[in-house]
Amino acid sequence: MDRIIRGISKDKNLRFIAVDATETVRRAVTIHQLSITNSVLLGRLLSAGLMMASDLKGEKNVLTLKVEGDGPSKKALVTARKNGFIKGLVGNPQVELPLTENTKKINVAKAIGKGTLSVIKDLGLKRPYIGQIELQFGTIARDLTYYFAKSEQTPSSVGLGVLVMPDGKIKQAGGFILQMMPDPSEELIAKIEKNLYRFPNLTDMMDLGHHIEHLIEDFILKDIAVEIKKTQSCEYHCDCSREKFAEGLKLLSKQELEDAIQKKEEITVSCHFCKSEYKFGKSELERILQQK
């Protein structure tokens, strides 16, 4: 089962969040029929969104991560809640790119191109909080590390991974966020830097059978006394409904609704996040028209 873990070092100088998002990413790939390149792109955003949303204060708060660029994928975004529900999409889901020339890695940076990373937090206030940076690396993890330092003044280290097979099957997906509290000791910083330098690939280690808890305790934060404070489940979940789309149809003009009713045409709307379709017949359209 996919899960998010949250904890802190026993000296209170470090907090961490980590996630195993394998099934969540598999579900997204299936729904959107993603290319391998976009599986990695959206998979990284899904892992990051789950971790960052777990930091929200209220259950009704919503976090959105969005990347927009001039590359062939165009954009990708995820929307997540504190309860572990998340959904997402890619602007051009089937586009595929060759591996990078030198390292033979999936070229997420080229898929995005030059653009921006936005962090939007709807906290139930009049206006949402919006933080935005120019993409520096295009890898998502390093860009989020830069975002935390620049926009939230929080020294952080972000790791994100998606292990995908040549046939497109998702084997593993997950990530971690480490954040320093004010005035950490030089010894703590040195230990973390040493551990991260020696740490192998995250999803390769997951594929060897290491649980995300063990990777945090035995590798990423080795020799640092830590305590896991909370573990929660997470999943790909879309909250669309017939009622919500009926409200959306009220945005159509009276003429458009009347034309559909007169021609006895159904109006079909499709959710971009889960591909569910909702059909509205004559009687429902008449009721919507009366409510305008």
**What is the predicted pLDDT for the residue at 279?**
94
In the chain the domains, ranked by start, together with CATH numbers, are 3-236 (3.55.30.10), 242-291 (3.90.1280.10)
For the stretch 218-276, pLDDT in tens is 999 999 999 999 999 999 999 999 999 999 999 999 999 999 888 888 899 999 999 99
Residue 143 DSSP code:
H
Residue 38 DSSP code:
H
Over residues 4-30, mean pLDDT: 97
For the stretch 57-73, pLDDT in tens is 988 899 999 999 999 99
Question: In b/e form, how buried is each residue of 208-239, taking b as 16+ CB within 10 angstroms?
Answer: eebebeebbbebbbeebebeeeeeeebbbbbe
* Separation in Å, CA 59 to CA 53, 54, 55, 81, 83: 10, 10, 11, 7, 7
User: Would strands 75-81 and 85-90 be described as parallel, antiparallel, or unpaired?
Assistant: antiparallel
What φ, ψ does residue 4 adopt, rounded to 5°? -115, 135
Runs of H (alpha helix) within 199-267: 202-207, 212-215, 242-249, 254-262
Predicted TM-score (pTM) of the model is 0.94
> Can you tell me whether residue 256 is helix, strand or coil?
helix
User: Would strands 85-90 and 235-236 be described as parallel, antiparallel, or unpaired?
Assistant: parallel
Distance (Å, rounded) from C-alpha 191 to C-alpha 112?
34
**What is the predicted pLDDT for the residue at 78?**
98
**What is the predicted pLDDT for the residue at 168?**
94
